[in-house]
């Protein structure tokens, strides 16, 4: 017999010295460390004072019976997980059942054989070791998940912060007086920056999916407008390769629906990018058709069709897998991380859909997926009218407090906000943010999260405490300016008292949309 752990410690409780000696001899021969007790109170004291891997417990004892000993040990956190095997000459069914009800794992009837004793002891020590390993594995996995989430938040912040400066300043630079040659150069820089950001987002999104941190919004959007944005983003790449890039939406599909347009665009951009990469002549086209619709939901079928090199059946099996591309030479010739299709598959599955490909080598490919959105009763005309009505009251220029310690990001935000006609007061840490808020009473606060002295979350808490203490009814809207966009981070910001967040890097369009929200917020509270 192979003992699972010769150093295991076993407590034997029996009022018969002969039984104690016999069991001690049998188990000691196998290398187990043995302690003994001749009554219930002594057993409890020893179990509390020492660490045991197993207890062999007689039912009949001179002071308190084994059932009471078992019940007491199971009520103490230090001893409640120790496996207990009852030793009993009583074979009545009721005693056996009572022992199991109190938490015992097994029983050994007296008289016992050496083989049976060793077999049962070895079995339960094996279970105990396996259980301990599972607990350690669970603790390790939880610690690893937590460490991964912290790493993702940090790396996301460190990467997105300089990207915010690059893309933000580029956007501002484009709005200055430039020659055609300079505009062309800036377009190239802009496309390169967007491509770099796309690769960064691929890596971060893949990590977020693995960590279970991907979130989905439910907002109203125009399908045609969102797909048109996809076309605009990729148009320059199509023009460079002399390819026709277009889309068609079936007429019966409602124009407005509810869901996450950002994630939908992410999938379409990944698929179109893939098609553009492997197509040298012809076209890439997005087709959208209706699968089904009722009062609350609409099911859509998307196709991204190309006239590219196609893909063989055996290589199709490699698609949608992380870091995988059809051929080893693909990454050298065409570039890419090998994550785009894997991310798309995960996103579509999280949207309760499925994704696939129809292709023959040399005959192009059709990537297809289906997903479901909620229907919206409000028309697109109503959205436009609502926006126009809101903009009519946007005469008042806002006094905005900007808390940001990064000089470049300060400059990006200031220039963008000032170009929109707003007054900007800048501070570089959380303590200054709280003090300046109290002194100037701004219309809104753009709050960076990671700042020296006091971070944005703590500063927000201090501001909310001051407002409460001073009976302020209309709390100032606080917008988190952050490169940390993990679900847990956003929940933390909202719980601290922030109202919205602006993800870095942000565009001027993102900022305008947020300013619109601030106006609505001010209107609703007045």
- 441 lies in some domain: yes
Burial class (CB in 10 A: 0-12, 13-18, 19+), 475: middle
Name the token pair of 45: 């004291």
* Residue 145 forms part of a structural domain: no
Question: Is residue 233, in this structure, part of any structural domain at all?
Answer: yes
Does residue 352 come out as left (phi exceeding 0), alpha (psi in the -120 to 50 range) or beta?
A: left
SS3 474: coil
Q: How many helices (H) and strands (E) does the chain have?
A: 17, 17
| Euclidean distance between CA atoms 426 and 428, whole angstroms | 7
| Long-range contacts, stretch 181-189, CB < 8 angstroms, 24+ apart | 187/236
User: Does residue 412 sit in the same domain as residue 306?
Assistant: no
**Are 231 and 273 members of one domain?**
yes
341 to 110, 199, 270: CA distances (angstroms):
65, 13, 7
Domain count, the chain: 3
Angle between helices 114-174 and 17-29 in degrees, nearest 10: 60
Please report whether residue 494 resides in a domain: yes
71 inside domain: yes
Residues 360 and 418 in one domain: no
**CATH no. for residue 226?**
3.30.565.10
Q: How far apart are CA 228 and CA 366, in angstroms?
A: 20
Length of the chain: 526
For residue 447, the Cα-to-chain-centroid distance in whole angstroms is 23
According to DSSP, residue 296 is labeled: S
231/345 same-domain check: yes
Whether the full predicted model's pTM is greater than 0.85, yes or no, is no
Same domain, residue pair 407 and 486: yes
Q: Please tell me whether residues 237 and 286 are part of one structural domain.
A: yes
Regarding whether 494 and 401 lie in a shared domain, the answer is yes
Half-sphere exposure of 466 (CA within 13 A, CB side): 15
Q: Which two tokens stand for residue 29?
A: 């021969």
Max CA distance (Å), the chain? 104
Same domain, 386 and 352: no
Domain span holding position 346 = 219-375
Same structural domain for residues 227 and 361? yes
pLDDT tens per residue, the chain (526 residues)? Answer: 444 455 789 999 998 899 899 999 999 888 899 999 999 999 999 999 998 999 999 988 999 999 999 999 999 988 998 999 998 875 666 777 888 888 888 888 888 888 889 998 988 888 888 888 888 888 888 777 677 666 766 776 677 778 877 887 887 888 788 888 888 788 778 777 776 776 777 677 776 676 666 778 788 888 998 998 889 888 888 998 999 999 999 999 998 888 888 889 889 998 998 899 899 999 999 999 999 998 889 999 999 999 999 988 888 877 777 544 444 444 434 444 457 788 888 889 888 899 999 998 888 999 999 999 998 644 333 333 334 333 434 457 899 999 999 888 888 889 889 988 899 999 999 999 999 999 999 999 999 988 888 999 999 999 999 999 999 888 999 999 887 666 667 888 899 999 998 887 777 777 888 898 888 888 776 6
Structural domain ending residue among the three candidates 112, 141, 168: 112
Instruction: From 70, 94, 112, give the residue that closes a domain.
Output: 112
CA atoms within 13 A on the CB side of 401: 27
30 domain-assigned: yes
- Please indicate, yes or no, whether residues 282 and 405 belong to a single structural domain of this protein: no
> Is 241 among the domain residues?
yes
Say whether both 351 and 404 belong to one domain. no
Q: Are residues 356 and 384 in the same domain?
A: no
Neighbours of 392 (CB within 10 A): 7
Closest CA to 219 of 188, 257, 193, 252: 257
Looking at the domain assignment, is residue 182 inside a domain? no
Whichever domain contains 486, its CATH number is 3.40.50.2300
């Amino acid at each position: 017999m192979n003992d699972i752990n010769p150093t295991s410690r076993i407590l034997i409780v029996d009022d018969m010295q002969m039984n104690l000696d016999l069991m001690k001899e049998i188990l000691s021969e196998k290398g187990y460390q043995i302690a003994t007790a001749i009554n219930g109170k002594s057993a409890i004291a020893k179990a509390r004072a020492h660490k045991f891997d197993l207890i062999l417990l007689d039912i009949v004892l001179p002071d308190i019976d084994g059932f009471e000993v078992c019940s007491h040990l199971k009520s103490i956190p230090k001893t409640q997980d120790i496996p207990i095997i009852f030793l009993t000459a009583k074979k009545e069914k009721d005693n056996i059942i009572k022992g199991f009800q109190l938490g015992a794992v097994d029983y050994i009837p007296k008289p016992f054989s050496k083989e049976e004793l060793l077999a049962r002891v070895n079995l339960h020590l094996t279970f105990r070791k396996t259980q301990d390993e599972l607990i350690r594995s669970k603790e390790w996995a939880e610690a690893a998940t937590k460490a991964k989430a912290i790493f993702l938040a940090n790396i996301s912040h460190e990467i997105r912060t300089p990207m915010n400066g690059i893309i933000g300043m580029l956007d501002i630079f484009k709005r200055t007086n430039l020659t055609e040659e300079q505009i062309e150069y800036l377009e190239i820089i802009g496309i390169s920056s967007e491509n770099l950001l796309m690769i960064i987002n691929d890596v971060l999104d893949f990590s977020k999916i693995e960590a279970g941190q991907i979130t989905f919004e439910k907002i109203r959007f125009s399908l045609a407008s969102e797909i048109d944005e996809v076309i605009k983003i990729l148009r320059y790449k199509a023009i460079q390769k002399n390819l026709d890039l277009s889309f068609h939406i079936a007429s019966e599909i409602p124009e407005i629906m509810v869901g996450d347009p950002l994630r939908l665009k992410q999938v379409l951009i990944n698929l179109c990018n893939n098609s553009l990469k492997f197509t040298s002549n012809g076209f890439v086209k997005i087709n959208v058709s209706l699968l089904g619709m009722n009062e609350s939901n609409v099911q859509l079928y998307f196709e991204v069709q190309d006239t590219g090199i196609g893909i063989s059946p055996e290589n199709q099996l490699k698609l949608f897998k992380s870091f995988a591309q059809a051929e080893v030479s693909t990454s050298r010739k065409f570039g890419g991380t090998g994550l785009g299709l894997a991310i798309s598959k995960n996103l579509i599955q999280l949207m309760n859909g499925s994704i696939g490909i129809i292709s023959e080598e040399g005959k192009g490919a059709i990537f297809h997926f289906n997903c479901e959105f909620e229907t919206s009763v409000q028309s697109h005309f109503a959205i436009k009218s609502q926006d126009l009505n809101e903009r009519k009251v946007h005469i008042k220029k806002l006094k905005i407090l900007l808390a940001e310690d990064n000089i470049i990001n300060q400059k990006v935000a200031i220039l963008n906000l000032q170009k929109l006609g707003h007054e900007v007061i800048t501070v570089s840490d959380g303590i200054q943010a709280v003090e300046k808020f109290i002194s100037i009473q701004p219309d809104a606060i753009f709050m960076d999260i990671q700042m020296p002295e006091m971070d944005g979350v703590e500063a927000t808490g201090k501001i909310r405490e001051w407002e409460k203490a001073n009976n302020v009814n209309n709390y100032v809207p606080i917008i988190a300016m952050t490169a940390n966009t993990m679900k847990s981070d956003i929940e933390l910001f909202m719980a601290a008292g922030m109202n919205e967040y602006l993800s870095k890097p942000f565009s001027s369009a993102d900022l305008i949309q947020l300013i619109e929200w601030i106006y609505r917020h001010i209107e609703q509270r007045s």
